[in-house]
C-alpha cells in the first residue's frame, strides 16, 4: 500500500540522512515512474518558479478585495488530476498536501464527477435542504450506505455538518447536554435554568469545559478555538474561555532508543490531565469532556503511543468525562486504518468521533447515550414516565396542566390529570400506532403555540 | 412585485380579520392562479395528511441513527419546483418557508442546474479548494461578478464562508482583531500576548465582547450562541460568555396608533445599549462590536424603525464599537431591497455585514479598515514603516535581527541593520516590482523556518 511504502521509505530515508528529502535530487523509490491510476499524470512538470507570473498577478488582484497574504499560488482545478495539482502557470506538481488533507481519491476523480452529475445529488446542492426539519427521501439510506458503513465500533449515531469546526462545536454541545442531563438525573429543567440561559448565565449556561492539549488544533470558531493551541496567530486578539489545557507528550526519536524517557513523559502528561480535572472542579468548573487528535497535525505531527490514548480514555471514564476523538485530519484511511484511533485497540469505544475533510462532509459519530434527549418543551414537560400505554408526564404547575388539558379537549383529544401537576394517558387496549401519531401531531401543535 | 403584494395584502388581511390566514379558506388574492415562472407548478395538490405514511415510516428509520424529533416531513427535492415543495407522499405544497429562507429563486431552478453542471463549478465541489491558500484561477473575478456586485455601499472587502454561523464567528474575530489593533496603536505584539493567548488568557486573548439584543439569533456555535437569545432550547446546558445583552424594542401595532409609545420604547432600548457599554467597560470588559438583525427573525419577526437603527449606528461610532449587521436571513432581496439595512439610509455604512442562506454561500462584507493586518510573524516583525523604498521594520532584539540578516545573506539577499533591533531597506533606484517579489519570497521562507 502506498501509505506503508511512503511511511517506511520516508522514515528510513530521513533517519539515515538526517536531512530534508529533496524530490528530484535522487531516486528515493525505484517504482517512482509507475502509474497506477488511469487518470493520473505521469510526473511533475515545471514551467516557471512557483508562484509564477500569472499567480502573482492574480494575488495582487485578490488582495484588492481580501487579504491574500496567505495564498501560496492559484490553481487550475479542472486540469488537476489524481495526485497532481496544476497551477495557473501550467506547473504540474505531485501534491502531498492535498488541500490540507481534504482530497480523498485525487483531483477530478471521474467517479465523483459522475456522482455529482446525478440529478439527485445536483438537487442537494441547489435545493439546500434544511436537513434537521426537511430531509430528502434517501437521507437515512445514504447515511447508512456511506458514513455509517465506516462508523467507528460502538458508535451507532451520526450527525452531518458542513465543516470540521462546526463538527467539533456541535460535538461539544452534545457532550455538554449529555453531561448536564447526567447531573440533573431526571428531565426536570427549572425555571431558573430556562431564564438564566437566555442571558448567558449559570445555571442555564453551566460552567462546563472541554479539556484539550497544548499543540492541539480543533478549529477556529470561538468554542473550537478555546481548545486549539497550535499557533499564536490563530488565537491572538480573540477572547477565549478559561478551559484546562494539558501538555501533550513530546516523544524522543528514534522511539527504541528512548523507551523509558517516553514512558515517563506520557505518564507525566496523563497525571497532569487528572490534576487539571480535579483542580478545575475545585474552582467549580466541570470538565465535561476531553478532546484529542490521534496525531496532533497542525501542531507539528506530534504522536503518542497507543498506550497513552488507552490510559487517557480510562481517565475520561474514571472522571465521568466524555472522550472525544477529533479525526478531522486523520480520518478516512490515511493512517493505514480507516480511523486513526482504531490503532489503539480501545476496550471501551470513544464516545464521540468528529470528521470532515477527506470524508467530503463534516459531522460526528456518537454513542447512543449521547443523543440529545433534551425535550423540545422542557419548560412545559418533565418527568416523562410510563409502562406500556400507562404513561404520564409533569407540567410546571396545576394552572398550566389544566390549561393544556382544556386546549387539547378543544382540539379533539381527551386527557386526564393526576397528582398536582401531572397529565396521564389511559387509552384503551385497542390504541394503535396511528392513534399515537395523531395525538402527537395535535399535542405538538398545542405545545408550539402555548403561551 | 410579489414581495410588496404579499406584505400589503397580508398586513391588510391580518389586521382586518385579526385571525390567522387559512389558505383555501377563501381567495385572498384574485391573481392566485397566475403562473409567472415557466417551471413552476400551478397550485398545491394534497394527497395525504402531512406528515403522510411514507414520511412517518422514514422518520422512524432516521430516528434509529439520529434524533429525528424535529423533522416536519421528508421531501422529494427532485420533484420540487419553483415555489412548490413536494413531499415523499406526493403532496405538493406552496412553500412560504423555503428551507428557513434559503432558496433564492425556487426549487430546482433550471439555470442553477445548468450552472452546477459546468465542469468548472463541478470541480469546486469535488476538488475542495482550500481557498485561503490555493484559490482557483477565477476566484477574484467570480467574487467581483457575484458577491461584490451587490456589496452594501462602502464595503469593498468580502470573505466567503460555508454557513451563517461561521460567517458571524469570523466577523466577530475580524472585529476583535480590528479593535485590538486600534488599542495597540502600532503593530508591536508583546511576548506576553503571544504566550498568554496560547493558554486562552489575557492580554493575548483580551476580554472583549459583542453586544447583542434579547430576541436576536446569530447562529449556534459557541461564539454566535453567546449573542443568540431567541429560544431557551438553543442555549440550555451550553456554557457561554458574559457578554452584554440589550433589550430590543417591542413595538405596538398598528404603528400609527402608537407613535409616541414606540418612540419612547426605542429610546429606552438605545439608552440601555449605551449604559451596557459603559457598565461593561467599568468591569474591564470591552464591547468591541454591536451585532443586530435588521428584522429579528428567529426571535419572532420583531421590527424597529429606521431611526432606531440609525441611532444605534451612531452609538456604535461614538463608543468606538464596530457595527455588524447580520443579514443572514434578511439579505438577498426579500425585504424589497437587496439588503434590508439599505432601508435605513445610513450616512456612515455598517462596518461588517454577514450573509448566507439565499446568497447560496456564507460570508461577510467589511470596510477596508477591518482587513486583518495582523502580521503573519508578529513575534518577529513589528513597527513596519517607510516612504518609497526607504523602508524598515523592527525585530524583537538585536540577536534575532542579526540572525535574520545572516540567514538572508546566505540565501542571496543583502540587508542592513539600524538602531538596536531594526532592519532597513536601502535598494537602488532601479529596484523593480519583480525584485520586491523575489525578496518577499525568499524572506517569507526564512520567516517560516525561523527558530
Render pLDDT for B366-421 as a digit per residue (tens, 0 to 9). Answer: 999 999 878 667 788 888 887 888 888 989 999 999 999 999 988 888 999 898 89
Q: Residue B304, SS3?
A: coil
The per-residue pLDDT for A391 is 86
Binding-face residues of B in 50-109 toward A, CB within 8 A: 51, 54, 56, 58, 61-62, 64-67, 69-78, 80, 85, 88, 99-100, 102-103, 107-109
On chain A, the residues whose CB falls within 8 A of the CB of B235 are 197-198, 200, 204-205
Name the helix (H) or strand (E) containing A55. helix A53-62
The per-residue pLDDT for B385 is 83
Is residue B181 over pLDDT 60? yes
The per-residue pLDDT for A346 is 96
Measured distance CA(A256)–CA(B169) in Å, rounded: 45
Enumerate the β-bridge partners of residue B93. Answer: B85
Which chain A residue has the Cα nearest residue B129? A99
Render pLDDT for B196-223 as a digit per residue (tens, 0 to 9). Answer: 999 999 999 999 999 999 999 999 999 9
Binding-face residues of B in 250-309 toward A, CB within 8 A: none
CB A348 within 8 A of CB A376: no
Which chain B residue has the Cα nearest residue A166? B221
Longest dimension (CA), chain A: 85
pTM: 0.82
Render pLDDT for A116-132 as a digit per residue (tens, 0 to 9). Answer: 988 888 888 899 999 99
Q: Average of pLDDT values for B87-101?
A: 93
CB A394 within 8 A of CB A406: no
Q: Average of pLDDT values for B28-33?
A: 48
Which chain B residue has the Cα nearest residue A70? B133
A222 touches chain B (CB under 8 A): yes
CB A130 within 8 A of CB B164: no
Residue whose cell numbers read 493551541: A229
Render pLDDT for A91-110 as a digit per residue (tens, 0 to 9). Answer: 999 999 999 999 999 999 99
Enumerate the β-bridge partners of residue B106. Answer: none
CB A164 within 8 A of CB A359: no
- Cα separation of the two ends of chain B: 63
Kindly give, in sequence order, each residue whose CB lies less than 8 Å from that of residue A388, ignoring residues fewer than 6 positions away.
Answer: none
CA of residue A218 relative to chain centroid, distance: 9
Kindly give, in sequence order, each residue whose CB lies less than 8 Å from that of residue B71, ignoring residues fewer than 6 positions away.
Answer: A132, A133, A134, A135, B51, B55, B59, B62
> Would you give the DSSP letter of residue B248?
P
Is residue B345 over pLDDT 50? yes
CB B331 within 8 A of CB B299: no
**Nearest alpha carbon to residue A206 among A281, A313, A312:** A281
On chain B, the residues whose CB falls within 8 A of the CB of A379 are 232
**Nearest alpha carbon to residue B243 among B200, B210, B278, B207:** B210
**Nearest alpha carbon to residue B379 among B367, B393, B362:** B393
Contact B162 A162 (CB under 8 A): yes
Residue whose cell numbers read 439584543: B213
Contact A139 B232 (CB under 8 A): no
**Nearest alpha carbon to residue B238 among A174, A278, A326, A286:** A174
* Mean pLDDT, chain B, whole residue set: 89
Count the alpha carbons within 13 Å of B273 in the hemisphere toward its beta carbon: 30
CB B103 within 8 A of CB B52: no
Binding-face residues of B in 2-21 toward A, CB within 8 A: none
**Nearest alpha carbon to residue B222 among B172, B280, B169:** B169
The pairing of beta strand B352-355 with beta strand B362-366: antiparallel
Measured distance CA(B400)–CA(B398) in Å, rounded: 5
A159 touches chain B (CB under 8 A): yes
Measured distance CA(B56)–CA(B21) in Å, rounded: 27
Measured distance CA(A79)–CA(B71) in Å, rounded: 42
The per-residue pLDDT for B241 is 97
Length of chain A counted residue by residue: 451
Length of chain B counted residue by residue: 451
Contacts across the A-B interface (CB distance below 8 Å): 343
Helices (H) and strands (E) in chain B, counts: 14, 13
DSSP-assigned states of every residue in B335-403? TSSSSGGGGG--SSPPSEEEE-GGGSSEEEEE-GGGS----S-TTT-EEEEEETTEEEEE-SSHHHHHH
Cell of B293: 438583525
Low-confidence ranges of chain A (pLDDT < 50): 1, 3, 11-28, 32-36
Measured distance CA(B90)–CA(B46) in Å, rounded: 7
Render pLDDT for B284-306 as a digit per residue (tens, 0 to 9). Answer: 999 999 999 999 999 989 999 99
Measured distance CA(B240)–CA(B200) in Å, rounded: 15
Measured distance CA(B221)–CA(A169) in Å, rounded: 6
CB A447 within 8 A of CB A376: yes
E-strand spans in B13-164? 84-86, 92-94, 157-161
Cell of A111: 467517479
On chain A, the residues whose CB falls within 8 A of the CB of B164 are none
Nearest by CB to A127, which of B80, B237, B441? Answer: B80
Q: Residue A300, SS3?
A: coil
On chain A, the residues whose CB falls within 8 A of the CB of B123 are 77-78, 108
CB A290 within 8 A of CB A323: yes
B138 touches chain A (CB under 8 A): no
User: CA angle A119-A122-A128, nearest 5°?
Assistant: 125
Cell of A271: 497525571
Nearest by CB to B437, which of A56, A158, A169? Answer: A56
Measured distance CA(B208)–CA(A240) in Å, rounded: 9
On chain A, the residues whose CB falls within 8 A of the CB of B137 are 54, 58, 74-76, 88
The per-residue pLDDT for B28 is 44
Cell of B398: 538585536
On chain B, the residues whose CB falls within 8 A of the CB of A117 are 117, 122
Contact A67 B372 (CB under 8 A): yes
On chain A, the residues whose CB falls within 8 A of the CB of B58 are 135, 137, 139-140
The per-residue pLDDT for B376 is 66
Q: What is the 3-state secondary structure (H, E, C) of A93-156?
A: EECCCHHHHCCCCCECCHHHHHHHHCHHHHHHHHHCCCCCCCCECCHHHHHHHCHHHHCCCCCC
CA of residue B119 relative to chain centroid, distance: 29
Cell of B54: 411514507
Residue whose cell numbers read 452534545: A174
Is residue B307 over pLDDT 60? yes
Residue whose cell numbers read 429610546: B267
Q: Average of pLDDT values for B332-352?
A: 95
Q: Say what the ipTM of the complex is.
A: 0.81
On chain A, the residues whose CB falls within 8 A of the CB of B102 are 128, 130
Contact A62 B140 (CB under 8 A): yes
Exposed / middle / buried, residue B156 (Cβ in 10 Å: 0-12, 13-18, 19+): middle
CB B354 within 8 A of CB B152: no
Enumerate the β-bridge partners of residue B352. Answer: B324, B366
Which chain A residue has the Cα nearest residue B110? A126
On chain A, the residues whose CB falls within 8 A of the CB of B328 are none
The phi, psi pair for A315, rounded to 5°, reads: -60, -45
Which position has the higher pLDDT, B2 or A211?
Answer: A211
On chain B, the residues whose CB falls within 8 A of the CB of A74 are 134-137, 139
Cell of B299: 426571535
When scoring A79, A203, A239 by the number of chain B Cβ atoms within 10 A, the one with the most, hence best to mutate, is: A239
Q: Residue A364, SS3?
A: strand
Contact A237 B437 (CB under 8 A): no
Binding-face residues of A in 162-181 toward B, CB within 8 A: 162-163, 165-166, 169-170, 172-173, 176-177, 179-181
The per-residue pLDDT for A18 is 38
CB atoms near residue A222 (< 10 Å): 24
The per-residue pLDDT for A28 is 44
Measured distance CA(A157)–CA(A175) in Å, rounded: 14
Binding-face residues of B in 229-248 toward A, CB within 8 A: 229, 232-233, 235-243, 245
Amino acid at each position: 500500500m502506498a501509505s506503508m511504502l511512503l511511511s517506511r521509505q520516508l522514515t528510513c530515508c530521513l533517519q539515515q540522512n538526517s536531512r530534508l528529502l529533496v524530490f528530484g535530487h535522487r531516486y528515493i523509490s525505484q517504482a517512482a515512474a509507475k502509474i497506477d491510476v488511469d487518470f493520473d499524470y505521469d510526473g511533475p512538470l515545471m514551467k516557471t518558479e512557483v508562484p509564477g507570473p500569472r499567480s502573482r498577478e492574480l494575488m495582487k488582484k485578490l488582495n484588492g478585495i481580501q487579504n491574500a497574504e496567505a495564498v501560496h499560488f492559484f490553481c487550475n482545478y479542472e486540469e488537476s488530476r489524481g495526485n497532481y495539482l496544476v497551477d495557473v502557470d501550467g506547473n504540474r506538481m505531485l501534491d502531498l498536501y492535498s488541500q490540507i488533507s481534504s482530497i480523498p481519491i485525487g483531483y477530478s476523480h471521474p467517479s465523483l464527477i459522475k456522482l455529482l452529475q446525478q440529478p439527485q445529488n445536483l438537487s442537494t446542492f441547489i435545493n439546500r435542504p434544511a436537513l434537521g426539519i426537511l430531509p430528502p427521501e434517501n437521507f437515512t439510506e445514504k447515511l447508512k450506505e456511506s458514513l455509517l458503513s465506516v462508523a467507528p465500533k460502538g458508535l451507532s449515531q451520526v450527525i452531518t455538518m458542513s465543516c470540521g469546526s462546526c463538527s467539533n462545536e456541535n460535538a461539544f454541545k452534545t457532550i455538554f447536554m449529555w453531561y448536564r442531563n447526567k447531573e440533573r438525573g431526571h428531565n426536570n429543567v427549572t425555571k431558573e435554568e430556562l431564564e438564566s440561559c437566555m442571558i448567558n448565565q449559570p445555571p442555564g449556561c453551566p460552567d462546563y469545559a472541554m479539556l484539550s492539549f497544548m499543540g492541539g488544533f480543533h478549529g477556529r470558531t470561538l468554542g473550537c478555538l478555546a481548545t486549539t493551541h497550535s499557533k499564536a496567530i490563530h488565537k491572538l486578539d480573540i477572547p477565549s474561555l478559561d478551559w484546562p489545557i494539558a501538555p501533550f507528550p513530546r516523544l524522543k526519536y528514534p522511539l527504541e532508543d528512548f523507551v523509558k524517557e517516553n514512558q515517563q513523559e506520557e505518564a507525566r502528561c496523563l497525571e497532569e490531565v487528572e490534576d487539571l480535572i480535579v483542580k478545575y472542579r475545585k474552582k467549580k468548573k466541570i470538565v465535561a469532556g476531553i478532546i484529542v487528535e490521534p496525531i496532533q497535525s497542525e501542531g507539528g505531527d506530534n504522536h503518542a503511543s497507543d498506550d497513552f490514548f488507552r490510559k487517557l480514555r480510562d481517565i475520561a471514564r474514571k472522571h465521568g468525562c466524555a472522550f472525544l476523538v477529533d479525526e478531522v485530519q486523520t480520518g478516512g484511511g490515511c493512517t493505514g486504518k480507516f480511523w486513526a484511533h482504531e490503532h489503539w485497540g480501545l476496550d471501551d469505544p470513544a464516545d464521540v468521533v468528529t470528521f470532515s475533510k477527506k470524508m467530503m462532509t463534516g459531522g460526528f459519530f456518537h454513542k447512543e447515550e449521547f443523543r440529545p434527549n433534551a425535550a423540545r418543551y422542557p419548560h412545559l414537560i418533565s418527568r416523562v414516565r410510563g409502562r406500556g400505554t400507562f404513561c404520564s408526564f409533569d407540567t410546571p404547575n396545576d394552572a398550566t396542566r389544566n390549561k393544556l388539558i382544556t386546549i387539547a379537549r378543544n382540539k379533539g383529544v381527551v386527557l386526564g390529570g393526576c397528582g398536582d401537576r401531572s397529565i396521564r394517558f389511559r387509552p384503551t387496549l385497542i390504541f394503535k400506532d396511528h392513534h399515537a401519531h395523531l395525538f402527537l401531531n395535535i399535542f405538538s401543535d398545542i405545545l408550539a403555540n402555548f403561551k
